[in-house]
Amino acid sequence: MSTTEPCDTTPQGITCQEKTAQKPRAFLRPLVIALAIPLGFFLIEYPSNDLLATMDIYYVVVNLVVIAALFAIVYTLGQRSRIAVVAFLAVCLLIGTANHFVILFKGQPVVPADLFALSTAASVSSGYSFALDGRLLVCIVAFALYCVALAFVPRITLKVRRVVAHTLVGILLVGCFGWWMSACDLGKTYNCTVDVWGVKESYASQGTTLCFLKRVQDLSPNRPEGYDAQAVDNLLAPYRSTADVPYSADDEAAPTVIVIMNETFADLSRYPGLANTDARPATYYEVAASALDSGDAYVSALGGGTCNSEFEFLTGSSMGHLGGGVYPYVLYDLDGTESLVSYFSSLGYATHAIHPAESTNWRRDRIYAQLGFDTFTDISSFDDADTLRDLVTDRATYDYVLDLVENSEKPQFIFDVTIQNHGGYDTGALADDMRVSVPLPDGSASAELDEYLSCIRQADRDLAYLTEQLNALDRPVVLCFFGDHQPGLSDWLFETTHDGSTADELGLAAVQERYTVPYLIWANDTAHERCALDEPATENTSLNYLGAKVIETSGLPLTAYQRFLLATSERIPAINLNGFLTADGTWHWFGEQTDADDALSSYAIVQYDNLFNKQSEWTEN
């Protein structure tokens, strides 16, 4: 009879007693590890998804499968370690938390392009209040309990062969996932549709993971059907002119053109429950009454995404042709794109951009250079400026604009992007004499709404100050003023002021109410005396046309592109991310059959050429 000596340790350094004790727990390892997949789904969805309990089981399964694939990649590349599992779940918790706060502040969840603008988000986050709520606490507790359970799971013993095998399998999985993303149309294959006017609702009903990946696929611009150089030339040929009189900035009638894109400036009295209240910016309407042109402008941003409003105005492009979740400022190279900046430069104007925040926000330092601005003034030039809620006031930027005009004999194009009215609106930092209080339809009050309206009241007064100062100048000046988007709080405010109905329930025209801002094109007395300006007009438009309207209204010569835009606006008076307006006053979703389909297609072709065909020379007059 033979006997063996009991071992003290295994070759891996684990005592035999420890190994024996681990055997029962080893059976639990696959179960605990597999539990990370549904937990990851929960951590992503629960903090912000009000429809989680009623989500279609089909979308639950699809999201779980996608999360499982991503988990498999992290788990294998992480050598099947417990740290890899914790890291994966920590990222899931971070995603859920980020969505929670972004929806809270902007009314929309995180989209892929947001990842390219993290520095911008960090720069403006100081204006918001962050606090844990019950849902976040539940997720944190669930994450912590899982980590405790995972600590009792035996660790995997690593050998060189295992490390190599795990790494190779992980790389293979990454390749397979990349192939799936490139070869599979998530929209068609999995019936995933992310509504541009209701991204939050799409994420909630179809799952954050699936919708986010669908938005990743949407980032690349699609080449319009029928696009080629000859098609572009044919479309622009009717708008080229050889009869234009050469125009020079040396002409004494050449007006300085000032554009104020006012942060979150909107007229919320357009909502039925706020009609005939102090939500109405009264001074704006007083100035508009004597303006050359005024009305509503439809935008493609809500609660944020200021850069997209800038992009539409400066380039004459529509986000409707680029899709949702896209920020051209952070995704595209705009060098060589025809814009208002290149236009004024060609006339000999000095061009100046102003924004009292970090120059790197939305990559403005690079984009403004690509567009051709001569100079860009950022927050560094406003060290001693007056502030409101720790943000540089509109009036401070207007004084800077006035100094530029008064200290130069040369006509200028000045583009001022203000910041005074930026969210959030729960700072409580306003003086009592600045506060505006507007009751909601049920008689209750909202501190957020009141702070926002108080900021707009001040912005409204500053507009009056600016026009008074411009009228005192002995040189022609044309002013364009518009808001970049409505505040994010209009998400819940719309329902409150529309008897509980959502915009989706009321149709596209109601959706567009949330994407409407006021605009005006105004001229000082000297401009009226020296320039042949048209009679006042009132009409609705969208930001992609507004720049061309400014040129036309100012009596300046038009390029072929600008003529094309104005001609397109006669058949499609407004277009934004949500849809387009036809000449009969009807709003249409994209994809609907209309008599304006050919105009829409032509616009897409010309826009694509301007943005992405850098060798094109079609922008000449």
Cα separation, 501 vs 507, in Å, equals 11
131-158 exposure pattern, b = at least 16 Cβ within 10 A, e = fewer: eeeebbeebeebbeebeeebeebbeeee
Is residue 320 domain-shared with residue 208, that is, in the same domain?
A: no
Is residue 376 domain-shared with residue 296, that is, in the same domain?
A: yes
Please say which residue of 217, 237, 269 terminates a domain: 217
Is residue 135 domain-shared with residue 258, that is, in the same domain?
A: no
CA angle centred on 377, ends 374 and 383, rounded to 5°? 160
Is residue 251 domain-shared with residue 202, that is, in the same domain?
A: no
CB 123 within 8 A of CB 357: yes
Cα separation, 568 vs 563, in Å, equals 9
591 is in which domain, residue-wise? Answer: 229-612
Residue 195 burial class via C-beta count within 10 angstroms: exposed 0-12, middle 13-18, buried 19 and up: middle
Is residue 258 domain-shared with residue 111, that is, in the same domain?
A: no
CA 611 to chain centre: 18
User: The tokens 């609702």 sit on which residue?
Assistant: 201
Please say which residue of 188, 217, 246 terminates a domain: 217
Spatial strand order of the sheet with 574-575 comes to 574-575, 579-581, 587-589
Residue 4 in any domain: the answer is no
Instruction: Calculate mean pLDDT across residues 593-619.
Output: 84
**Which residues, 6 or more positions from 579, have their beta carbon under 8 angstroms from its beta carbon?**
320, 508, 512, 587, 588, 589, 590
Q: What is the pLDDT of residues 212-239, one digit of tens each?
A: 999 888 887 888 999 998 999 999 999 9
- E strand spans, 426-567: 477-483, 516-523, 537-538, 541-542
pLDDT band at residue 248 under the 50/70/90 scheme = low
Residue 223 in any domain: the answer is no
Paired residues of 581 in beta bridges: 574, 587
Assigned token pair, 78: 């992480």
Residue 365 in any domain: the answer is yes
Is residue 200 domain-shared with residue 241, that is, in the same domain?
A: no
392, 396, 525: which is closest to 462 by C-alpha? 396
- First vs last Cα of the chain: how many Å apart? 105
Q: What is the pLDDT of residues 371-420, one digit of tens each?
A: 999 999 999 999 999 999 999 999 999 999 999 999 998 999 999 999 99
Is residue 167 domain-shared with residue 283, that is, in the same domain?
A: no
Please give the single-letter amino acid code of residue 99: N
User: β-pairing, 587-589 with 579-581?
Assistant: antiparallel
Assigned token pair, 490: 């209009």
Instruction: Calculate mean pLDDT across residues 41-58.
Output: 95
* Residue-averaged pLDDT of the chain: 89
User: The tokens 């600008």 sit on which residue?
Assistant: 562
User: The tokens 């899931």 sit on which residue?
Assistant: 92
455, 350, 313: which is closest to 395 by C-alpha? 455
Between 231-235, 538-542, 615-619, the lowest mean confidence (pLDDT) is in: 615-619
Residue 169 in any domain: the answer is yes
Give the pLDDT of residue 170: 93
Residue 486 in any domain: the answer is yes
Is residue 182 domain-shared with residue 296, that is, in the same domain?
A: no
Instruction: Calculate mean pLDDT across residues 354-365.
Output: 93
Give the pLDDT of residue 433: 86
CATH number, domain at 521? 3.40.720.10
Is residue 306 domain-shared with residue 388, that is, in the same domain?
A: yes
Q: Hey, which of 13-22, 137-146, 227-236 has the most confident mean pLDDT? A: 137-146
User: The tokens 């694509």 sit on which residue?
Assistant: 608
- C-alpha separations of 182 from 177, 179, 327 in Å: 9, 5, 21
Q: Is 449 helix (H, G, I), strand (E, B) or coil?
A: helix
Does a cis peptide bond (omega within 30 degrees of 0) precede residue 295?
no
- C-alpha separations of 498 from 64, 507, 512, 514 in Å: 37, 13, 14, 12
Residue 618 in any domain: the answer is no
Please say which residue of 191, 217, 243 terminates a domain: 217
User: The tokens 């999201």 sit on which residue?
Assistant: 63
Backbone angles phi, psi at 541, to 5 degrees: -150, -165
Cα separation, 412 vs 414, in Å, equals 6
Give the pLDDT of residue 529: 81
Residue 253 in any domain: the answer is yes
Q: Is 584 helix (H, G, I), strand (E, B) or coil?
A: coil
Paired residues of 260 in beta bridges: 416, 481
Give the pLDDT of residue 1: 44
Q: Hey, which of 194-203, 451-460, 481-490 has the most confident mean pLDDT? A: 451-460
Give the H or E element holding residue 580: strand 579-581
Give the pLDDT of residue 406: 95
Cα separation, 110 vs 44, in Å, equals 12
pTM, to two decimals? 0.83
Instruction: Calculate mean pLDDT across residues 176-181.
Output: 95
Is residue 534 domain-shared with residue 575, that is, in the same domain?
A: yes
Position 319 pLDDT exceeds 50? yes
Total domains present in the chain: 2
User: The tokens 């994407």 sit on which residue?
Assistant: 515
Question: Helix crossing, 208-217 with 160-183: angle to 10°?
Answer: 70
CA 10 to chain centre: 58
Is residue 180 domain-shared with residue 233, that is, in the same domain?
A: no
Cα separation, 579 vs 589, in Å, equals 5
Cα separation, 101 vs 136, in Å, equals 10
**Which residues, 6 or more positions from 529, have their beta carbon under 8 angstroms from its beta carbon?**
476
Is residue 205 domain-shared with residue 247, that is, in the same domain?
A: no
Q: What is the pLDDT of residues 269-308, one digit of tens each?
A: 999 999 999 999 999 999 999 999 999 999 999 998 999 9
Residue 333 in any domain: the answer is yes
Assigned token pair, 530: 């020296």
Backbone angles phi, psi at 261, to 5 degrees: -95, 105
Residue 49 burial class via C-beta count within 10 angstroms: exposed 0-12, middle 13-18, buried 19 and up: buried
